[in-house]
Amino acid sequence: MHLSYSHNLALLNSSTARGMIKSKAYQSMWPMELRDDADSKAMWWNEFGGGVYASSAAGQVTGFRAGHMESGWQGALIIDDPVKPDDAYSETVRDGVNNRFNETIKSRLAIETTPMIVIMQRIHYHDLSGYLLRGGSGEKWHHLNLPVLIDNSQGYSEQYPDNTHAMPIDHGLPDGWLWPFKHNESHRVSLFSHRRTAEAQYMQNPRRFNAEGALWTEDMIAAARSLNISETLSRTVIAIDPQATNSAESDETGIVAASAYGMGERKQYSADGDYSGKYSPNGWATRAMDAYQQHDADAIVIETNQGGDMAEETLRNAGFRDRIIRVHASKGKFARAEPISALYAQGRVAHRGNLYQLENQQMEYVPTTAKKSPDRLDALVWAMTELSGQTPGAIFF
């Protein structure tokens, strides 16, 4: 049984397979006749009882079965692109496909051991692949994952921690472009120019954006990227969320440049640069100082919770002689981040330049379910809090 979101695509694949079986080359090795009473694109059978039934995933599947009730190889249920990209962003359509898998399609197996094969590009966090890999159907699934850029530096569980029902298949491919003839370094900018398409369809790892309780949505970030600043620049700061340790397991040090414009209710803000990364203490101090010079900032804001004295000393030892504003997290992360989210909701924050990873952290951050401290987001919140005059417990030096 072969199913797809498109009835015509399912028919084309079925017709192609039927044509191969009828070819002289195939018949010379495995001679067989197709039955006259079942020889169409939608349904064809050979004289031995094997064949194909092709339909759309939303079409007629009751009354037909995938496989045979016998031991050994006895067929398969193949689902090829169960939902088209545009429909995958509709919660109604998406849930309909996922529910239909459990309620109707899965019941079409002749026996429980009939293989099920899902072939699809990732489109949305909650598409059928995501649903199955996170346990939506109850089974464990073998998962062959082929992003456009192969990166073997992280293990499967690190890259896909939510895929609790996945048994990864080792593709054995080297780092680099999956198929250089199709996509290579000359295509990088165009491939990754659109976040949603790049992470889902190209990298096969759609993010969970717009989740219930998220402080930043895709619409809010899109509005920030298109906002034009109309007020006059008043000040610029560099904010640092330093890491207390420096090892391969350490999180990144968040370093973000931000600015304020105008006064009062007309005041606007901008995130101007993200320089976060894994650095040694001297490395992040040097990077922050470079950003300070580049953006002509008037201060560096640094959190004191993660070894504030040591962090300030690190900056001074690296040669920084200007103003340092030490801030202490006397409130919880949600309490600090919520007012900054409100500035975005009011359309008062602009995003400038390449803030791709910072924006991902913003849209992924759901306070009630967050498992770790988002470093880039922390630095942004400290910068915006300082610029908006809401810094809790700020100490000036």
Residue 63: its pLDDT value, please? 66
Q: Are 105 and 117 in contact (CB under 8 A)?
A: no
Beta strands in the chain (DSSP E): 2-4, 34-39, 43-46, 51-56, 77-80, 116-119, 141-143, 149-150, 166-168, 176-177, 233-241, 254-261, 268-274, 299-303, 324-327, 349-351, 395-396
Fold of 218-396: Nucleotidyltransferase; domain 5 (3.30.420)
The pTM for the full model equals 0.64
237 HSE (CA, 13 A, CB side): 24
Provide the token pair at 69: 């009730």
Q: Are 241 and 328 in contact (CB under 8 A)?
A: no
Residue labelled with tokens 């990364």: 277
Q: Which residues of 154-181 are buried (b: 16+ CB within 10 A; e: fewer)?
A: eeeeebbeebebbebeeeeeeeebeeee
Residue 73: its pLDDT value, please? 74
Domain ranges of the chain: 2-202, 218-396
Residue 389: its pLDDT value, please? 86
Listed as ranges, residues in the chain with pLDDT below 50 are 391-397
Residue 243: its pLDDT value, please? 80
Residue 393: its pLDDT value, please? 40
**8-state DSSP, 15:** H
Residue 394: its pLDDT value, please? 39
Q: What is the DSSP string of 108-177?
A: GBSSTTS-EEEE----STTSHHHHHHTTSSSS-EEE----SEE--SS-HHHH-TT-TTEEE----PPSEE
